[in-house]
Chain A
Amino acid sequence: MGSRIDPDKIKKDFPILKNKMNGKPLIYLDSAATSQKPKIVIDTITDYYENYNANIHRGIYKIAETATERYIESKRKLAGFIGAEKFEEIIYVRNTTEAINLVALTWGASNIKKGDRILISEMEHHSNIVPWQMLAKKKGAIIDYIKMDKNGEGLSDGSFLEQIEKEPKLLAITHVSNVLGSINDVKSMTKIAKKNGATVLVDGAQSVPHMPVNVNEIGCDFFALSGHKMLAPTGIGALYGKMDLLDSMEPLFGGGDMIKNVGFDSYTTNDLPWKFEAGTSNIEGGIALGAAVDYLEKIGMQKVREHEKELTVYALEKLNKIKGLKVFGYGKENIEKRGGVISFSLDKIHPHDVSAVFDSFGIAIRAGHHCAMPLVRGIFKVGALSRMSFYIYNNKRDVDVSIDAINSVKNIFKVK
């Protein structure tokens, strides 16, 4: 493979992209919500059910052994992919939301006390706000917010430094904003937070699918991700946690697989990672996530990042020329701080109307508050935004057709 991604070649790996939507070739620009799935991932699921469907762990027969091996193998792959040292540090959950809730309900329940501070930011997704609000309500803890900078592009360094001096017990921060694409310097933030005694959780839902990530280099204690945003099926995601922390935590659910011994009046918990995976797991999801990791590694995450940077700059240049269109977040001169997510407003036209016109062009974009109401409504003071988000299967033509769609919106709504 050359030094660059060939999105036209990659498109062919994704069966859904051969389809039409409203009679037009499907252009999928909603990968920040969920990614499409390559044939190899879909085939992996079928292969499991057709050839070695069996419950994992204790089966003493060939196909159960195969299923168990592939499931564990997928954890090794994911651990390697995000720079974790051991597969035991990878807990499979449904998605990022569940991973964050797991930390709130176990680590949070034992470590957050009345009056303790939890530091998050104004740009968080609801999944990294509400679990902490629920915990704070239960415990009488205080939630502080790192403010957005004055341009509403990224987080304010000054606000972070001011808040971290209040010595929060926890810093829970997104790696990449799902609204703005803004990339937070989670490595530096973790270093400073740890110096001030905080435990650090990073929400990696929007970073892991799109750029090289190394949790060990970041130095965070917990890292949450979703499989479905990185080519894997829905219903599989992961929580990475440092061994000693995971060891010290109580399990969330009780049941099969999470125990070593059960007596009539007691139990002992299983080793990691199984301690946190009670009941039969999403076996095919885990194995398919392994296939998705293989697919991404074959392309190379640095190349994925470079491709999205190029596409984002291309789109920003075109969008900035459209009268009445406002892009939120960093401009192209700050592309190093920006992922392939572009939220915009168009004159006073409601994003649902924008999105409906895109739909008629065969283009899938998202319109709404993007599950970040405090940012969209509280900071930007708008009801909703339109959002395009890119991935490996998008090309410049997808951007060009989007520009046509925007011009059509302007015509329909008679905006000059």
Chain B
Amino acid sequence: MPLDIYAEEIISQYEHPHNKGKLPKYDVEFHDENPICGDDITIYVKIENDKIAQVSFEGQGCAISQAGASMLTDFVKGMPITEANRIDYDKIKAIIGLDPGPARMHCAVLSMKALSGALKKYMEHKYK
């Protein structure tokens, strides 16, 4: 694997992640993990008018998973739920600015899975 995956931006956000820590007030939280590598992410979302008003995460793991969570939470802030739900792996690659390759794909999508789990949980609860 070429070392492009450790671009300056990845390392920088891994060291100094944005949106890290539990939100003081949130509507939904969701935990996901990769049992194989031991990475885990808990995502917290505050929703207003069907938009992601606030979002944060807690967790631990490799540079790709943690910097990825930092970048994804920046990206979805203010976004309508319907739009956030359409984020796929291709979009993740665009957000983090690189293709981590097949062996590290699961690291890159962990925060996306957690966010999608959170939004699903929120909708289920709302329209129960």
Identify the A interface with B (CB < 8 A). Answer: 22, 349-353, 356-357, 359-360, 367-369, 377, 382-384, 412-414
Main secondary structure of the interface of A (DSSP, over half): mixed
- Of the candidates B15, B38, B63, B104, the one whose C-beta lies within 8 Å of that of A383 is B38
In the complex, besides A353-B64, A368-B37, A382-B38, 11 extra interface pairs with C-beta distance below 8 angstroms are A350-B37, A351-B62, A352-B107, A353-B63, A356-B3, A360-B1, A369-B38, A383-B37, A412-B3, A412-B6, A413-B15
- Of the candidates B1, B39, B60, the one whose C-beta lies within 8 Å of that of A356 is B1
Identify which of B3, B38, B64 gathers the most chain A CB atoms within 10 Å of its CB: B38
Cα distance, A22 to B101, chains bound together (Å): 14
> Please, what's the 1-or-0 string for B37-65, where 1 marks a CB less than 8 Å from any CB in chain A?
11110000000000000000000111111
Say yes or no: is B2 at the interface (Cβ < 8 Å to chain A).
Answer: yes
- Contact, CB under 8 Å: B5 / A356: yes
Given the interface pairs A356-B1, A412-B6, the reply to whether A350 lies near B39 with Cβ below 8 Å is yes
* Residues of B contacting A351 in the complex (Cβ-Cβ under 8 angstroms): 37, 62
- Contact, CB under 8 Å: A414 / B15: yes
State how many residues of chain B have any CB contact under 8 Å with chain A. 21
Cα distance, A22 to B62, chains bound together (Å): 21
- Contact, CB under 8 Å: A384 / B37: yes
* Residues of B contacting A350 in the complex (Cβ-Cβ under 8 angstroms): 37, 39, 61-63, 65
What's the least CB distance linking A54 to chain B, in Å? 40
* Residues of A contacting B11 in the complex (Cβ-Cβ under 8 angstroms): 412-414
Say yes or no: is B94 at the interface (Cβ < 8 Å to chain A).
Answer: no
Which B residue sits closest to A412, measured CB to CB?
B6
Cα distance, A383 to B61, chains bound together (Å): 8
* Residues of A contacting B60 in the complex (Cβ-Cβ under 8 angstroms): 383
Which B residue sits closest to A358, measured CB to CB?
B1
- Contact, CB under 8 Å: A352 / B15: no
Q: In residues 1-34 of chain B, which contact A (Cβ within 8 Å)?
A: 1-3, 5-6, 11, 14-15
What's the least CB distance linking A193 to chain B, in Å? 33
- Contact, CB under 8 Å: A383 / B39: yes
* Residues of A contacting B63 in the complex (Cβ-Cβ under 8 angstroms): 349-350, 353, 413
* Residues of B contacting A22 in the complex (Cβ-Cβ under 8 angstroms): 1-2
Cα distance, A28 to B97, chains bound together (Å): 31
- Contact, CB under 8 Å: A368 / B36: yes
Task: Pull 12 A–B residue pairs with CB atoms less than 8 Å apart, ordered by A.
Answer: A350-B39, A350-B61, A350-B63, A356-B1, A356-B5, A356-B6, A357-B6, A369-B36, A383-B39, A412-B3, A413-B14, A414-B11
- Contact, CB under 8 Å: B3 / A377: no
* Residues of B contacting A356 in the complex (Cβ-Cβ under 8 angstroms): 1, 3, 5-6, 104
Cα distance, A384 to B5, chains bound together (Å): 20
Cα distance, A67 to B122, chains bound together (Å): 64
- Contact, CB under 8 Å: B62 / A352: yes
* Residues of A contacting B14 in the complex (Cβ-Cβ under 8 angstroms): 413
Which A residue sits closest to B14, measured CB to CB?
A413
* Residues of A contacting B64 in the complex (Cβ-Cβ under 8 angstroms): 352-353
What's the least CB distance linking A199 to chain B, in Å? 33
What's the least CB distance linking B30 to chain A, in Å? 19
Cα distance, A412 to B6, chains bound together (Å): 7
Q: In residues 71-128 of chain B, which contact A (Cβ within 8 Å)?
A: 104, 107
- Contact, CB under 8 Å: A352 / B3: no
* Residues of A contacting B62 in the complex (Cβ-Cβ under 8 angstroms): 350-353
Cα distance, A383 to B107, chains bound together (Å): 14
Which B residue sits closest to A367, measured CB to CB?
B37
What's the least CB distance linking A364 to chain B, in Å? 12
What's the least CB distance linking A202 to chain B, in Å? 28
* Residues of A contacting B65 in the complex (Cβ-Cβ under 8 angstroms): 350
Q: Which 7 A-B pairs have the closest CB atoms?
A: A383-B38, A350-B62, A352-B62, A384-B38, A360-B3, A359-B1, A353-B62
Cα distance, A383 to B37, chains bound together (Å): 7
Identify which of A350, A360, A368 gathers the most chain B CB atoms within 10 Å of its CB: A350
What's the least CB distance linking A210 to chain B, in Å? 26
What's the least CB distance linking B100 to chain A, in Å? 9
* Residues of B contacting A368 in the complex (Cβ-Cβ under 8 angstroms): 36-38
Cα distance, A350 to B38, chains bound together (Å): 9
Which B residue sits closest to A376, measured CB to CB?
B38
* Residues of B contacting A353 in the complex (Cβ-Cβ under 8 angstroms): 6, 62-64
